[in-house]
Each structure stands twice: as C-alpha cells, then as structure tokens.
Amino acid sequence: MDREQRDTTPASWSAWMIAAALACAAPCAAQTQSQALLIPATPPDYPRGRISGYIFGDYYDNLAGNPDHGYSSSGADSLTPNIDGSKVIGRDLNGLQVRRVYFQLDNDLSFRFSTRFRLEMDGKSLTSDGKLGVNVKAAYAQARSVYPRADVLVGVLSTPIWEGSEEFWQYRSIEKTIGDFRGIGSSADVGIELKGFADSDHHVGYVAMIGDGPGQKAEDNRYKKFYLSLPLRAGDLRLEPYADYENAFGAKDRATYKLFVGYALKWLAVGAEILDRVNHRPTGGNQEPHGYSVFARGGPTPAISAFARVDVWEPDHRLANRVDQQLWIAGLDWQPIKDAHFMPNVESMQYVAKGTGVVPPHHDLQARITFYYKFSRPQTP
C-alpha cells in the first residue's frame, strides 16, 4: 500500500459512517414528524378563571385651605381632607389613605360565554360604624359574538359615560375624569348592554345600554336610563361622542352630552373632554352644569413620565351670578418595576366669581405621594 492510499483510507471510512448514520436517522425523523401531525389538537379547557385587581392611595398634606378646625367629642376634625369640589379642604390636615381597592374574578365558561365579578373598596364608602366598606362594582354575564363583532352583557355593568376617557387619561389613581369627579352619573348601573364594532378593523364602535338609573342601588321606580356611546378611532386619533337620558318622577328628567377627543404619539398623549348636563325642573328654570377638561401625559421612558391637567367647571351655565371652579393637577410618575407606580403630585382647586358670586375665603392646595399597584394571576388551565 503506497503512502497516498494510507493517508486517504481513514477519511473515506469516516465519510461512509456519517452517511450511513444519516440514512438510518432520516426514516425515524420522518416517522416522528408524521406521528406528531396525526395527534389531534385539544380544545381549551373550560371553565377557566383569572384573578386581577389594583390598589391605590397616598400620603397627603394640605398646604392651603380652611384653617378654622373644629373637633367632635371623639377628636375627629370637622373639615374635609380631600378636594372634591363641594367645599374647601382643611389646611394642615395630613395622613396616609387607601382610596380604592379592586378585586376582580373573570371566568370563561366557554368560548362564547363569560362572567365577571368585581368588589370595590372606596375610601369614601364607609360602614355604619365608620370602617372602610366593600361593595359590588360589577357582576355580569357576557355573551360574545351574538352577531358579528357584537357582545351582549347583563347584570351590574360599567356605564360608558367615562370609560373611554378614563382609559385614555390613565391616571384614575390620581383623580377621576371630569364627569366622574363632578358626580354626573354613575360609573356602574344594573342593566343590559350591547357593545361592539361596525367594522372588522375596529374603527367604529358603539355601546348602547338600558339601565335602572340608581347606579349600584336597587331599583325603586319604573323609570329607566338610556346610554349611547360611539367610540371612533383613526390611527392615533380617538373621538367619542356620548349621550344619556334618564326619565324621572315629577318632570325632573336629565340629559347628559359629552365629547371626548384624544391623540396619542409615541411619547406624548393629549386629550380633552367637554361635558354638558341639562337638569329639567318643573318650575324655576332648568339647570345646566357645564365644563371641560384638558390633559397631557408622556415621558422619555416607561419608567419615568409626567402628567398635567386642568378642568374648568360651571355649576350652572345658565346663571349669571355664580362661582366657577378650576381644578389643576400636575405630577411625575416613577415606575421602578412593572405595574408599580410612585407619583409625587399636587392638586389645587381655585374659585372664580362670576357676576355677584362670592368665592370662599380660601383656595385648596394638596401635595401627595400617590402609590398604585396592579396585580393579576394568569388564567387557570
């Protein structure tokens, strides 16, 4: 055997061994792949549920307000701790408070039917002995796709009055949107709702609802409340006209009209709402609360952002002599980890006299460090 033959023979054997191994493995791989294709896909397991919720509150310090404190026999201060538009807050009042807790259970009974149950703890809802109370915020059943892109919901439902604008504002933990803050309607009502989109791209939406009217309270009359919202979307632009009407005993029916517009860029979002309410009265002329809100939010990173807002409110637009209010909000949002926020902010209420209206002797100014945490547990298998 010459030298050239001795050098090439081992390499030839290695090549033949590799080729043989690949030839043997190919049928096995093909058989495994064909077996995998023959295994049928199993449908999702039902029922399955998901737990979620959030909590927010703050440490507050009232830097301006009414300095004339009064105390009950138990030592409770008679002045208001938080800005609510009804009366001037108490200066120097401070403390740590939990303003809201949500606990929610979503349960999918099948692909087309689901339920939601939500409990709420609100810092202003107290039990008879003064403790923080819990109430049912939502309890409904939902049927999906009753016809293309349309769902039907029945039970204790979220009303559409500020659902869209609050979602765009994103800072309910700081303050309610203008309609909610002013008590123009209820965020929940017992009724039936049709909700969906007119087009497959979800550019044109609609929400139509019939409710009892008293919100989360039991129905106590034969009158009903009708809601209609038309959320529209074109790229980064949001537009939502809204109206509701509630008949009432004694010709005291009420009608609300609202328009929301928002525009979201990558690092900045701006929004505005205009709200008008007509309270019909049998004598003395109708009342017309009216106002608008402008806000902005954004930042360079998801971890650091800022927000600002101003509301202008007229308690009765038809009165020449009145006291209007301006609500100013500004703050920073620090998110050290996902879904946990720490937000230093200030909130101020300024009073403006119109005609012969007389403003309170003090304005409101509250400094806060607000905390907000959202939690969820994935759906059960």
DSSP for 11-43 reads HHHHHHHHHHHHHHHHHHHHHHHHHHHHSPPPP
Higher pLDDT, 58 or 380: 58
Distance of CA 375 to the CA centre of its chain: 15
Arithmetic mean of pLDDT, 181-190: 93
Q: What is the pLDDT of residues 85-102, one digit of tens each?
A: 888 999 999 999 999 999
Q: What residues does 276 pair with on adjacent strands? A: 257, 290
- Would you call the peptide bond into 315 cis, given omega within 30 degrees of 0 as the criterion? no
Q: Is the predicted pLDDT of residue 273 greater than 90, yes or no? A: yes
Q: Hey, what amino acid is at 358?
A: V
3-state secondary structure of 6: helix
Per-residue tokens: 153: 């919901």
The pLDDT of residue 8: 46
Residue 198: φ, ψ to 5°: -80, -20
Q: What is the pLDDT of residues 9-37, one digit of tens each?
A: 454 555 555 555 555 545 554 555 555 55
The pLDDT of residue 33: 52
Which residue is associated with the tokens 């919901």?
Answer: 153
The contacts of residue 46 (CB under 8 Å, 6+ apart) are 108, 109, 110, 111
Q: Is the predicted pLDDT of residue 358 greater than 50, yes or no? A: yes
The contacts of residue 331 (CB under 8 Å, 6+ apart) are 174, 306, 307, 308, 343, 344, 345, 346, 368, 370
Q: What is the pLDDT of residues 32-61, one digit of tens each?
A: 555 555 566 666 678 889 999 999 999 999
Q: How many CA atoms lie within 13 A of 340 on its CB side?
A: 3
CA distance 70 to 61: 18
